[in-house]
Each structure stands twice: as C-alpha cells, then as structure tokens.
Amino acid sequence: MLKAAQEYLKQKINVIPLTLMPTEDGKGRKVPTVSWKQYQQQWVTDANLVKWYTPLNAPTMIGAITGKRSNLVTVDVDTDEGRQAIEKYIPDSLEIPTFNTPSGGYQMCFSAPEEEIPGAVRFLPGVDYRGE
C-alpha cells in the first residue's frame, strides 16, 4: 500500500489512508484513518505516507483528496437508480477511469473543472459528486 500511495503522490494526487468499517448490510463503509481536511490545501508528504502505511497501522485502502489540489473530481454512483440517472449524461464513446467501491457502486474520475464546485450528495438519485 505504501508504494501505491507514493506513486499516486508522484502523480500529484493527494492521498490519505482509509479503512473499511463493517456495516449492517455487510458492504462496509470507507473511513479516513487520519484527519484529512487540511490536505485539501496542503500536500501530503512522503513522511506522512511512511507513517500512515507502516505494517503496524496497515490501512486497507487509499483515498484521494478530490478538488483542485489533486486536479481530480469523482462521480460516485451507489444504486441502480443512480446508474440509470447518470447514463443520460455520459456518452457511450467517452472512456472514463472508473473503479468499483466496497458498497457495490462505482466512481468515475475526471479532471477538476476550472470553477471550484463543492461536493454534492445525491445531486441525482443515487449519485454523489466529490469535488472541493
């Protein structure tokens, strides 16, 4: 995990450690293992990563700080209703970096727009926007 986190940082993507907390539905919930808001304004350091990703601490996931700092925003699709809603806005010909989430949904990654747009929960049914 440390090497992967360091590689993201080399690519100018600010990352923090996450762990998966159990939920009643069995899907789990991603939870930061450090206070993260300051990293919207400042860079994580390699020393941070070494401290966070030591074998004793061993977080199970890597989370990206979205917004201008990392030039990254995501659209988080959590439900079948969300999949149907977002398909209206995404052309089939567009190739988008996408990854699966522990809850069974997926996140699509985009370059941050020039305008700072704050995150929005359920801006469409079953769809969240992760920005500033």
Each residue's pLDDT tens digit, 70-82 = 999 999 999 999 9
Q: What gap in Å lies between CA 21 and CA 63, rounded to an integer?
A: 14
Secondary element (H or E) of residue 52? helix 46-52
Cα angle for residues 14, 16, 20 (degrees, 5° grid): 140
pLDDT tens per residue across span 19-78? 888 888 877 788 999 999 999 999 999 999 999 988 776 667 899 999 999 999 999 999
Q: Which residue has the higher pLDDT, 60 or 3?
A: 3
Q: Is 81 helix (H, G, I), strand (E, B) or coil?
A: helix
pLDDT tops 90 at residue 102: no
Question: Is the distance from CB of 40 to CB of 97 less than 8 angstroms?
Answer: no
The candidate with the shortest Cα–Cα distance to 36, out of 54, 18, 24, 9, is 18
CA dihedral angle for residue 23, residue 56, residue 100, residue 111, rounded to 10 degrees: 120
pLDDT at 92: 85
